[in-house]
């Protein structure tokens, strides 16, 4: 006996919420346009220890997004001189969405209040009161966040710039996966300051230079010795 699906039937579209909400877990979307703010309310709201600025969301890549990512990757391979490293591009099944949860909760229905999709995973962390400094610094580490300190101050706490540091390319990654470029970027708890390194020059190394120099000096010495011998055999009148 054939069982027909009801015309109004729709498979459950589920979203997970993790971390600092009153009732974390998996929920079914109630409407096709349910937003981030309404979903947080359904989970009982934020806990007192929630770090709202660090909230982020993982989203399942749609068929169109997979095709777009594949095209971007292929173009980057063809134009390998581009500033985007090929290895940094991902064709994974999911990707991270940087969200502005503060604005979404303050202004429901605004652009920041994203419409959710099936498979979304929302993560709300607790306060992380450290700042990481990595890349081309003398001592990459993590130090306690102090309000008012600048990017330059934190780099000094890591021993300063290392050899070949690209000082004008410093950038900051925040807990919600958004990025700010430049040494004037704001420092927030839980962020990571990254100092890129200049690539090594593709020239001859010191071993090559020494080898060539030694060979040239040997030829010169041999030439001088030969001329001296000739002058002894055939002294000038």
- 41 with 139, same domain? no
- 102 with 166, same domain? no
Q: Is residue 225 part of a domain?
A: no
Q: Is residue 48 part of a domain?
A: yes
Which residues pair with residue 115 across a beta bridge? 35
**CA-closest candidate to residue 177, choices 57, 77, 30:** 57
Is residue 206 over pLDDT 60? no
Which residue did the predictor score with more confidence, 167 or 202?
167
- 84 with 28, same domain? yes
- 23 with 71, same domain? yes
Q: From the CB of residue 176, how many other CB atoms can be counted at a distance below 10 Å?
A: 24
Contact by Cβ (8 Å): 36, 116? yes
Choose the final residue of a domain: 103, 124, 145: 124
Condensed to tens digits (0 to 9), the pLDDT of residues 44-80 reads: 999 999 999 999 999 988 777 666 766 666 665 665 5
149-153 CB contacts, 8 Å cutoff, 24+ apart: 149/187, 150/183, 150/184, 150/187, 151/183, 151/184, 151/185, 151/187, 151/193, 152/183
Lowest mean pLDDT among 91-95, 102-106, 168-172, 225-229: 225-229
- 82 with 163, same domain? no
Q: Tell me, what's the pLDDT at 9?
A: 44
- 117 with 179, same domain? no
Choose the final residue of a domain: 124, 142, 173: 124
**Number of separate domains in the chain:** 2
- 32 with 78, same domain? yes
- 99 with 173, same domain? no
**CATH for 181:** 3.10.560.10
- 22 with 81, same domain? yes
Q: Is residue 117 part of a domain?
A: yes
pLDDT band at residue 201, thresholds of 50, 70 and 90? confident
Domain that holds residue 44: 14-124
Condensed to tens digits (0 to 9), the pLDDT of residues 81-128 reads: 444 444 445 567 888 888 999 999 999 999 999 999 999 999 999 988
Is residue 141 over pLDDT 60? yes
- 33 with 64, same domain? yes
Q: Tell me, what's the pLDDT at 83?
A: 43
Q: What does the alpha-carbon distance between residue 134 and residue 154 come to, in Å, rounded to a whole number? A: 10
Strand, coil or helix: what is 35? strand
Tokens encoding 89: 């591009």
Q: Is residue 212 part of a domain?
A: no
Q: Where are the beta strands (DSSP E) in the chain?
A: 14-19, 25-28, 56-60, 94-98, 121-124, 130-135, 141-144, 171-173, 179-181, 192-195
Q: Tell me, what's the pLDDT at 94?
A: 84
Is residue 3 over pLDDT 60? no
pLDDT band at residue 13, thresholds of 50, 70 and 90? confident
Lowest mean pLDDT among 126-130, 134-138, 152-156, 213-217: 213-217
Q: Tell me, what's the pLDDT at 82?
A: 42
């Amino acid at each position: 006996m054939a069982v027909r699906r009801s015309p109004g039937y729709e498979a459950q579209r589920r979203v997970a919420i993790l971390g600092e909400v009153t009732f974390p877990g998996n929920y079914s979307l109630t409407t096709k346009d349910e937003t981030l703010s309404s979903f947080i309310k359904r989970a009982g709201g934020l806990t007192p220890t929630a770090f709202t600025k660090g909230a982020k969301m993982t989203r399942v890549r749609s068929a169109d997004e997979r095709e777009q990512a594949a095209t971007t990757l292929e173009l980057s391979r063809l134009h390998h001189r581009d500033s985007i490293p090929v290895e940094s591009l991902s064709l994974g099944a999911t990707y991270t969405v940087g969200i502005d949860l503060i604005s979404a909760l303050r202004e429901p229905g605004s652009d920041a209040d994203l419409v959710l999709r099936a498979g979304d995973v929302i993560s709300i962390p607790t306060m992380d009161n450290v700042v990481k400094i990595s890349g081309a610094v003398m001592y990459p580490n993590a130090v306690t966040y102090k309000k008012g300190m600048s990017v330059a101050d934190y780099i000094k706490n890591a021993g300063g710039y290392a050899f070949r540091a690209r000082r004008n390319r410093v950038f900051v990654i925040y807990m919600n996966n958004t990025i700010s470029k430049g040494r004037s970027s704001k420092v927030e708890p839980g962020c990571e300051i990254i100092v890129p390194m200049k690539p090594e020059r593709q020239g001859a190394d010191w071993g090559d230079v020494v080898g060539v120099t030694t060979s040239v000096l040997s030829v010169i010495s041999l030439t001088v010795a030969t001329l001296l011998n000739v002058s002894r055999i055939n002294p000038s009148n």
